[in-house]
A = this chain, B = another copy of it.
Amino acid sequence: MKLVVAVVQDKDSSKLAQNLVNANIRATKLASTGGFLHAGNTTFLIGTDDDKVDEVKHIIQQSCKAREQVVAPMSPMGASMESYIPYPVNVSVGGATVFVLDIEQFDQF
């Protein structure tokens, strides 16, 4: 058994959760904080058989891969002047950091 720990952006977390459910893979979502542009990250804990690790990583990659996104300028009312961007910009969103750990024992009660 392996434990896959995946740190993804909040905006990708419901897509990843749905894709894991569709593949019959059980996961636990942890609340987490921090990340780009003050958006939050979500951490998934996924226990899986050794021979399904590649499938799990493929699902994570498909659900969360880094991509460009155009961000419309925000009103200066809702943001500090310092962070005000007066024109649309491309920002990189998505992406996932994935750790695979060995599980010595696995139990369900």
Question: Would you call A2 an interface residue if the criterion is a C-beta within 8 Å of the partner chain's C-beta atoms?
Answer: yes
Q: Determine whether the beta carbon of A34 is less than 8 Å from that of B47.
A: no
**Would you list which residues of chain A between 1 and 58 have a CB under 8 Å from chain B?**
1-3, 5, 7, 17, 26-34, 41, 43, 45, 47, 53, 57
Contacts of A60 in B (CB 8 A): 109
Are B30 and A31 in contact, with the CB atoms below 8 A? yes
Which A73-109 residues sit within 8 Å CB-CB of chain B?
Answer: 95-109
Query: Distance (Å) between the CB of A92 and the closest chain B CB?
Result: 12
Which residue numbers of A lie inside 8 Å of B, CB to CB? 1-3, 5, 7, 17, 26-34, 41, 43, 45, 47, 53, 57, 60-61, 64-66, 95-109
